[in-house]
Structure 1
Amino acid sequence: MEGHMDDQRRRAADWFRELQQRITRAFEALEDRGPGDAEPGRFDVTPTKREEGGGGGLMAVMRGGRVFEKVGVNWSEVHGTLSTKAQSAMAARGLPGMGSDPRFWASGISLVAHMQNPHAPAVHMNTRMFWTPGAWWFGGGTDLNPCIEYPEDTAHFHDTLRAACAPHGAEYYARFKAWADEYFYIPHRGRARGVGGIFYDDLNSGEWEADFAFTRAVGEAFLLAFLPLAEKRMAQPWDEADRETQLIHRGLYAEYNLVYDRGTKFGLETGHNPDAVLMSLPPLAKWR
């Protein structure tokens, strides 16, 4: 059984790495088509290591491009032992295997894009697999964060996710959309950080292949959902008022990721590279 799970973990980690490569290639191709005469942006790829325990990853970050002001697409595969605090937090979510054996393994991809043009929406996506001796599960999702919303863009994003979810569960889209609406909410501001998407965690139906297939579908739907919006808005005229709106909206994004985001907390608590964990933060932001 352990050997079988080893093979499944290898398949998952390799697929997350392949998805990272696919997305970075697509984003660099978009940079080539981007507006202006500046050099198109390119990703700097840096290996990362977990401070305690084993594993690491690849942090791919592009700054100052034609289309992207800052975008990170990180892949990781880490293992070690969970702290008592992390075990308690997971046990509180009803996850099994959190008592006797603190070993864990995790792999995934995490992406956040902050755009040059205020009319082009920021976006987040991640997919991951987590294992302990007592259980395994998948999680992830994607949500759109426009500072200037266009209803047709929101509709395209959600329609694409609905189509990706449909073959895997008739209730998946509605269930995971509602979860995203709850999860990506900023209580101290009384508002959502964007226009939503889907979010799921602790997914273990008992059928590893089915849950892995759904996670792949979420990852593969991302470029279909986001790239047409970025391409449509990347050359749209904007002014300083639009830029001000963008910077203030980014402040909301920073607040959420530093205060509430589950992945940020887990990464810092388990000793992963802090630059990789905090890659999601925008390069510039404002507060009133």
Structure 2
Amino acid sequence: MTSTSPVLTGESTSRFVQTKRFRIHYHEAGQGHPIVLLHGSGPGATGWSNFRPNIEALSAGHRVLAVDMPGWGESDTQTAETGRDHTATLIDFLDEVGVDRAALVGNSMGGMTAISAAVQHPDRVSHLVTMGAPCPGPNLFSAGNGPSEGLKVLIEAYQEPTAENMKRLVRIMCFDPAMATDELAGLRSQAAAAHPEHLRSFLEGGTSSAAAFFALAGQLGSITAPTMAIHGRDDRVVHFENSLRLTTVVPDSRLVLLNRCGHWAQIEHAAEFNRLVGSFVSAT
């Protein structure tokens, strides 16, 4: 008689932990060396909506934790009083869940947090993986001047979180329109509607640590963690030149540039992403 492992769901993996400043929601599965998945920004972003095609595959050999950062998902919101430092929040989270060192895997805004942690807390970061993440320095979000096409759509969705704008948001994140499913747009819409205070918080202050992140350009060379930057050649939110710059200055680094891929490599190329990350963490 054969047995099969239960299929992971958002409900079965859901957890909460209280840190110094926030009650944090996250998803957890698997055992082994910890991999912490850090989602991007945008209304309705959550650890589950950003990484649901990846959690089960990566948990086959690792302890996987997909976090809702403060101001997103079911975690507490962030205010001027609590502060908006995601890097400090990440370290507090690792302390509470008993993780000394972890592989950090960050998409976009989550990549900013992962890079900051690798610079500021090298003893806590065993591996650094970014996907579609900005890099400190000039041309932060685009190859030209001003906000990128995708960033403009993201801000509009924060200002008017309608079903139509959510659909526009998931479409611009993907190269293949077929990947921008109604289900994915619906997940984002439901999460945004459930916590309007998160949207207000972002519009009021975003993440105040962003300025500190962009000032890290001169310290990237100090990153000691093995680093892999994954980027879509067709990313309309954060241009792939950001990952080129990151791998130019981080000593132990490599770049994976995926053609026919937008801002969400972990969704559009899930099987390849899971293979890349799983083998990278296991081998190094």
Give the TM-score normalised by the residue count of structure 1. Answer: 0.29
Higher relative contact order (CA 8 A, sep 6+): 2
Higher strand share: 1
Larger radius of gyration: 1
